[in-house]
Chain A
Amino acid sequence: MPVIEVKGLSKVFGKNVKQSLKLLDDGKKKDEILKQTGDTVGVNRASFEVEQGEVFVIMGLSGSGKSTLIRLINRLIEPTEGSVTIDGEDLAKMNQDDLREVRRKKLSMVFQNFGLFPFRTILQNAEYGLEVQGIEKSERAEKAKEALDLVGLGDYINQYPSQLSGGMQQRVGLARALANDPEVLLMDEAFSALDPLIRKDMQDELLDLQQKMKKTIIFITHDLDEALRIGDRIALMKDGSIVQIGTAEDILMKPANDYVERFVEDVDRSKVLTAENIMVRPETVNIDKHGPRVALERMREEGLSSIYVVDADRNLKGYITADDASDARKKEIRDLKEIIKTDVPTVGRDKPMQELFEMIHDSPVPIAVVDNEKLVGIIIRGTVLAALAGESEVHVNV
């Protein structure tokens, strides 16, 4: 069962909500509705599910409704329509007491500008969530300290937020959220206020923590690189609507429409693509069945200067060059084993494309992509360049 389930969730800001909802039903756009009714569509019929342990990223340009959406999830903003269930309970129908209980125990939030209380020490800030639950002082201090240790701020507990750098302040924000031991972390542009280097550190740290804790995280960002780095799945928003939900690869390789395509246009593909994404089907010969003649014939048909050799189970054995094959035919050698070369450059399916550059540059033959010794694909220079240029058609799986 998903931890969070969002169904048909909408938020319209303004006074003519009913009329605006009707216009949304008619498929009218955000700006048309603004013109007609004066209302702003914050979120339009968003639906998705988030599984336990998943990092779900919501991405979109400024004003696309990300903050509104995440605030609908813990009901800092009252939904106009639709439902949000957490562990099967509908938040929108809860009374104030139950809602407060859910916020205390199940959902914690991390804010863009940290949201720390300036008059409280780091420890007191981290304790806040426990304090409002009425947890006894020594116990909450202990839990808050644990959380601060986890984010590496154990030595700063008596400082005030203004004495810490931005990155450290956001760690406190994270510790405050973790101290409650919530099921779900809601992070609204949590790293956007940090400068790029610190930001990358924080992303790594979050991923590290996530390895240990396996929380369910809903993470908002307007930065595609960040989304691709940390998201298990990504939802892309535009004008309040979710236009595509999928893994980083789905978004990059199969953009649902022009908007997504333009959004992902200038991402640095080499960081996200792996060998698997750009490999092509290999031409092979069978080491037990075929001889130099067949190999030479196949190479001639396909216009290749070398060909890979496998056995009946597709285990990679090596390769044969065209020169060696024609020599062998002249000398009437029948067995491929005598001319096979085994200095094959191989990589796994998930080798990042970035690292393929150099290999392919130095290698006389295409790189073999293997999975448990079995040849699953090859990478040729042309496909690497094509993938870099963003031509998604090059992606051919075996």
Chain B
Amino acid sequence: MFDFIPEIPLASWVDWIVDWITSTFSFIFNPIRNQFGDFMSWSASQLASVPPIIIIIIVAVAAFFLTNRKFGLATFSIVGLLVIYNQGLWEELMFTFTLVLIASVLSVIVGVPIGILMSKSKLAETILLPVLDFMQTMPAFVYLIPAVAFFSIGMVPGVFASLIFATPPTVRFTNLGIRQVPKELVEASEAFGSTGTQRLFKLELPMAKGTIMAGINQTVMLSLSMVVIASMIGAPGLGRPVLSALQRAQAGPGFVAGISIVILAIIMDRFTQNLNKSK
């Protein structure tokens, strides 16, 4: 019906942009890939070299105190981690955990300031909200393609893709949390002569803390899902056995790796949730 309009070469435009970015910024991307990549493999292998029993104990004790001295999460962590160890997936677990941790920390470092900016500026909010929607609704796989173009394969493009995919909740919730601070409290802080920075740090961030933590919780979960997917571009971790099981149509090993991911997800979710409640 609209055949008279020639097909717009949208895809080749994007290709062109990605190529341009890759070649123009390779002087930044290459050192990041090398050094950051080295750093991540180093941290992951350090973690993997700690005897599993020590890690399990640390996690269990932390869980016990974080949940106000209840045994539920601690017990679950011990049993879950032992299952993963028993299935021979401990090293994969350590890699996945390291990647998620680094990706989430980066997301928070980037996301919170952007969220603050959004809460302070109507203009920033108007521009960023659709961008965030876009970032979150685009299928996660799609980010892997330019990530590979920029950073080749391995952990670094995985973290990069996760950064794009998992940051939006932190931004959103930071913005929301600050905007939800009751008007009277904002007036009180102004009326007593606070500067903008004082208002932010002495009122808005403490008030928004719960909401921001809820955003961070979501960010961690999205990072985990992205890091698993990133095994498609060569990131090590629990995603790999899933992928290879898929390629060989082996239901059993695929399921075991899947369970391990679920266990890790539950532990990380409960940890970030309780971090929020406990203070």
Contact = CB atoms under 8 A, between A and B. Distances in A.
Interface of A: 71, 74, 76, 100-104, 107-109, 111-113, 115-119, 128-129, 131-133, 176, 180, 186
Nearest to A74: B191
Given A100-B195, A108-B192, A132 B187 contact: no
A133 B184 contact: no
The 6 closest A-B pairs by CB, nearest first: A104-B193, A115-B188, A103-B193, A109-B191, A129-B192, A100-B193
A86 to B, nearest CB: 14
Among B187, B191, B192, B202, the most chain A Cβ lie within 10 Å of the Cβ of: B192
6 contacts: A71-B187, A101-B193, A111-B184, A113-B184, A117-B206, A180-B192
B202 A132 contact: yes
B200 interface: no
Interface in B156-200: 184-185, 187-195, 198
Nearest to A105: B193
Nearest to A134: B198
A111 B206 contact: no
Contacts of A100: 193-195
Contact of A129 (B185, B193, B195): B193
Contact of B194 (A101, A132, A176): A132
A100 B194 CA distance: 7
Contacts of A112: 184
Contact of A111 (B188, B194, B195, B202): B188
B188 A132 contact: no
B102 interface: no
Given A76-B187, A76-B190, A128-B192, A119 B202 contact: no
Contacts, number: 60
A109 B190 CA distance: 10
B127 to A, nearest CB: 23
Contacts of B202: 128, 131-132
Nearest to A125: B188
A113 B187 CA distance: 12
A102 B190 CA distance: 12
Contacts of B188: 109, 111, 115-117, 128
Contact of A115 (B185, B194, B209): B185
B106 interface: no
A167 to B, nearest CB: 18
B18 interface: no
B207 interface: yes
Contact of B191 (A101, A108, A119, A133): A108
Contacts of B194: 100, 132
Contacts of A116: 188
A71 B183 CA distance: 13
Interface string B119-161: 0000000000000000000000000000000000000000000
B192 A117 contact: no
B207 A103 contact: no
B203 interface: yes
Nearest to B185: A115
Contacts of B209: 119
B184 A115 contact: yes
Contacts of A102: 193
